[in-house]
Amino acid sequence: MVHFHLLCLGLVFSVSSASELKCATGLDGKEAVIPESWINDGYCDCPFDGKDEPNTEACSGSTSWPGLKTDGVVVDAASSPASPGFQCSKQTKVILPLSRINDGICDCCDGEDEAEGLCPDICEELFREEREAREKLEKNFKSGYNKRKHDLYNFKKLRQEKLQEAVEKEAEIASIDKEESEAQASIDELRDAYAKERKAAANLMAKSLADLVDPLSEDELKKLIIHSCQLAGEVSDEDADTCVALRLSALDTVGSAWSDDSYADDVEMEFSTDDQDIAEMLLQNSIETYSVKYTLDESNRRRLDEYHGDYDYDGEFDDDHYDPHDDEDDYGEESYEPPSPSKYSDRKRKIYASRDVSEKEQEVIDELKGSKFSESRVKYLTRSKILEEKINNVLDAAEEAAKAKEEAAKAKEIGEWDDLNKEEGEAESESDVAEEEEVPTIDTEAYNAIKETLEATERKITKGFRWGASAKLFFSKSSSTTTLDGLKSLAIGTLLHGNLGATHVWEVLQSVLPEYEQGAEASSDTCAAALPISCPPAPITRKGISYPPSFIVTAVEALCMEQATMDVDESTCAEEGASDEIPESVSDGLYGYFSPSPRQETDPLMAFFSPLLLLKADKDTYDKHMMTKRDLNTNKKRIERLITDLYKDIGGKDGDGMGPSGELYSMANECFSVDAGKYTYETCIFKEAKQKEGSGGGGTGLGKWTGMELDENGTRVMKWENGQKCWNGPMRSATVYVTCGPETKLISADEPDTCCYVFEMESHIACDEAYKAKMGLDNLEG
Query: What's phi and psi for 720, nearest 5 deg?
Result: -125, 130
Q: DSSP secondary-structure letter at 358?
A: P
- CA pair distance 199, 195, nearest whole angstrom: 6
Task: Please report how close the Cβ of residue 688 comes to ligand MAN at its closest, in angstroms.
Answer: 14
Task: Please report how close the Cβ of residue 732 comes to ligand MAN at its closest, in angstroms.
Answer: 7
Closest to ligand MAN by CB, 215 or 699: 699
Q: Is 489 in the site for ligand MAN (CB under 6 A)?
A: no
Q: Which long-range contacts does 769-776 make (Cβ < 8 Å, 24+ apart)?
A: 770/714, 771/141, 771/714, 771/740, 772/141, 772/145, 774/714, 775/137, 775/141
Task: Please report how close the Cβ of residue 729 comes to ligand MAN at its closest, in angstroms.
Answer: 6
Site for ligand MAN in 710-729 (CB under 6 A): 726-727
CB atoms within 10 A of CB 698: 8
Closest to ligand MAN by CB, 525 or 751: 751
Strands (E), 113-160: none
Task: Please report how close the Cβ of residue 693 comes to ligand MAN at its closest, in angstroms.
Answer: 8
Intra-chain end-to-end CA distance of the chain, in Å: 39
Q: Is 689 in the site for ligand MAN (CB under 6 A)?
A: no
Of 503, 691, 733, 744, which lies in the binding site for ligand MAN, with binding defined by CB under 6 A? 691
Closest to ligand MAN by CB, 95 or 726: 726
Nearest residue to ligand MAN, scored by beta-carbon proximity: 727
Q: Is 417 in the site for ligand MAN (CB under 6 A)?
A: no
Alpha-carbon dihedral sign for residues 558, 560, 564, 566: positive
Closest to ligand MAN by CB, 299 or 691: 691
Q: Is 697 in the site for ligand MAN (CB under 6 A)?
A: no
Of 751, 758, 760, 775, which lies in the binding site for ligand MAN, with binding defined by CB under 6 A? 751
- CA pair distance 746, 683, nearest whole angstrom: 9
Angle 104-108-113 (CA atoms, 0-180°, nearest 5)?
45
- CA pair distance 286, 248, nearest whole angstrom: 10
Closest to ligand MAN by CB, 450 or 755: 755
- CA pair distance 475, 495, nearest whole angstrom: 17
| Helix/strand/coil for 688 | strand
Closest to ligand MAN by CB, 242 or 691: 691
For residue 433, what are the contacts with CB-CB under 8 A and spacing of at least 6?
A: none
- Piece of the chain touching ligand MAN by CB under 6 A; list 92-100, 332-340, 420-428, 748-756: 748-756
**What is the signed CA dihedral for 692, 698, 701, 707, rounded to 10 degrees?**
100
- CA pair distance 416, 223, nearest whole angstrom: 73
Closest to ligand MAN by CB, 417 or 727: 727
Q: Is 242 in the site for ligand MAN (CB under 6 A)?
A: no
| Helix/strand/coil for 309 | coil
Closest to ligand MAN by CB, 110 or 682: 682
Site for ligand MAN in 294-353 (CB under 6 A): none
Closest to ligand MAN by CB, 758 or 775: 758
Of 755, 761, 765, 767, which lies in the binding site for ligand MAN, with binding defined by CB under 6 A? 755
Task: Please report how close the Cβ of residue 728 comes to ligand MAN at its closest, in angstroms.
Answer: 7
Q: Is 735 in the site for ligand MAN (CB under 6 A)?
A: no
Q: Where are the alpha helices (DSSP H) in 526-683?
A: 550-565, 605-613, 619-649
Task: Please report how close the Cβ of residue 735 comes to ligand MAN at its closest, in angstroms.
Answer: 14
Q: Is 754 in the site for ligand MAN (CB under 6 A)?
A: yes
For residue 226, what are the contacts with CB-CB under 8 A and spacing of at least 6?
A: 368, 468, 471, 472, 475
Closest to ligand MAN by CB, 532 or 723: 723
On the 0-12 / 13-18 / 19+ scale of CB atoms within 10 A, 273 is exposed
Closest to ligand MAN by CB, 121 or 751: 751
Closest to ligand MAN by CB, 98 or 726: 726
- Piece of the chain touching ligand MAN by CB under 6 A; list 64-72, 148-156, 737-745, 749-757: 749-757
Q: Cα–chain-centroid distance for residue 54?
A: 79
- Element holding 12 (H helix, E strand): helix 9-14
Task: Please report how close the Cβ of residue 68 comes to ligand MAN at its closest, in angstroms.
Answer: 45
Task: Please report how close the Cβ of residue 183 comes to ligand MAN at its closest, in angstroms.
Answer: 59
Q: Where are the alpha helices (DSSP H) in 326-437?
A: 346-353, 359-369, 375-420, 430-435
Task: Please report how close the Cβ of residue 627 comes to ligand MAN at its closest, in angstroms.
Answer: 58
Closest to ligand MAN by CB, 211 or 751: 751
Q: Is 683 in the site for ligand MAN (CB under 6 A)?
A: no
Count of residues that bind ligand MAN according to CB under 6 A: 7
- Piece of the chain touching ligand MAN by CB under 6 A; list 127-135, 334-342, 661-669, 751-759: 751-759
Residue numbers at the binding site for ligand MAN (CB under 6 A): 691, 700, 726-727, 751, 754-755
